[in-house]
Amino acid sequence: MTVNGIEHKILDHGYVKLIETWGSDYRIIEAARMSTQKGFEGWGDNTPCNYDMAAAQTGKPCKRGMHNCGVDHKVGDERLLRYLWEHNHATPFEMAGMVIEVQAPIFVFREWHRHRTQSYNEMSARYAPLPDLNYYPTVERLMMGGGHLTKQAGTAAGAQTLTEQAASDFVASLHGNYVAAQILYEESLKDGVPKELARLCLPVGRYSRMRASANLRNWLAFLTLRMAKEAQWEIRQYANSVAEIVQQYFPRTYELFAEAR
């Protein structure tokens, strides 16, 4: 088991921090060979292949060990790993995974929690007041729009074209709303309103924290959806950070994932 304090800063007050990982690329191979009892036999020697004629036409190198490319090299268990991935033998990829800690706006968590194959434990405002941290989108972010490739997430029907001045005014108004919500929250707590009800005035732009745990198969499913250009920009920033951690600790599997995107 790997324990590491890797931490990536996201948005204005957010972060993704690695808590621990388990398993590895070679543990996936071991799991896949349970029936043959061969276990992990080793990776190849990483000698780069030359291009063959077909590969040269596409600009991509041949897949090592998949055909004769004219270079002598040792073929290792990377071939089996590729076979598992390309033929959707997904169960062995459940033999590795990781736990991360995330600080993100509540609206990001509402999207994140749709991935029900992950396990979550989020801080609860029933028991402790949420910190006074709120997400402020930049004017540049607002001018990007919200639709991406989906009409449903775009501007409201009949809306005017957003100007930089209107975007700047929105951020200023948002600040006022955040301040007013925090004042009401703090006064309610002082007046004895139960914490679980005093939180009703808090906006979805308020930051919360959670830990999320999943096996590698399900982290890659998360990345498939949340790194896509159709995903909301904010959660994509978190997904990109998760991808960097996956790439560092499960590099051979991540390489196959990246090839397929």
Q: Which of 199, 217, 226, 252 is catalytic?
A: 226
Other Cβ atoms within 10 Å of 25 Cβ, number: 22
**Cα four-point dihedral sign 49, 52, 55, 59:** positive
Give the pLDDT score at 113.
97
DSSP letter at 134 equals B
Residue 33 annotated among the catalytic residues of the structure: no
Give the pLDDT score at 203.
96
Query: Which of these, 162, 151, 149, lies nearest to 236 by C-alpha position?
Result: 149
Q: Are 249 and 23 in contact (CB under 8 A)?
A: no
pLDDT tens by residue, the chain, 261 residues: 666 778 999 999 999 999 999 999 999 999 999 988 888 889 986 544 433 334 434 444 444 444 444 445 568 999 999 999 999 999 999 999 999 999 999 999 999 999 999 999 999 999 988 899 999 999 999 999 875 556 666 778 888 899 999 999 999 999 999 999 999 999 999 999 999 999 999 999 999 999 999 999 999 999 999 999 999 999 999 999 999 999 999 999 999 999 998
DSSP 156-216: PTTPPPP-HHHHHHHHHHHHHHHHHHHHHHHHHHHTT--HHHHGGG--TTBEEEEEEEEEH
Q: Where are the beta strands (DSSP E) in 106-162?
A: 119-122
Q: Which two tokens stand for residue 255?
A: 């390489």
* Structural fold of domain 2-24+96-135+204-260: Gyrase A; domain 2 (3.30.1360)
Give the pLDDT score at 234.
97
Task: For residues 74 and 41, give the distance between their C-alpha atoms in angstroms, rounded to a whole number.
Answer: 12
Task: For residues 176 and 256, give the distance between their C-alpha atoms in angstroms, rounded to a whole number.
Answer: 47
Q: Which two tokens stand for residue 65?
A: 């060990």
Give the pLDDT score at 5.
75
Other Cβ atoms within 10 Å of 223 Cβ, number: 19
Model pTM above 0.75: yes
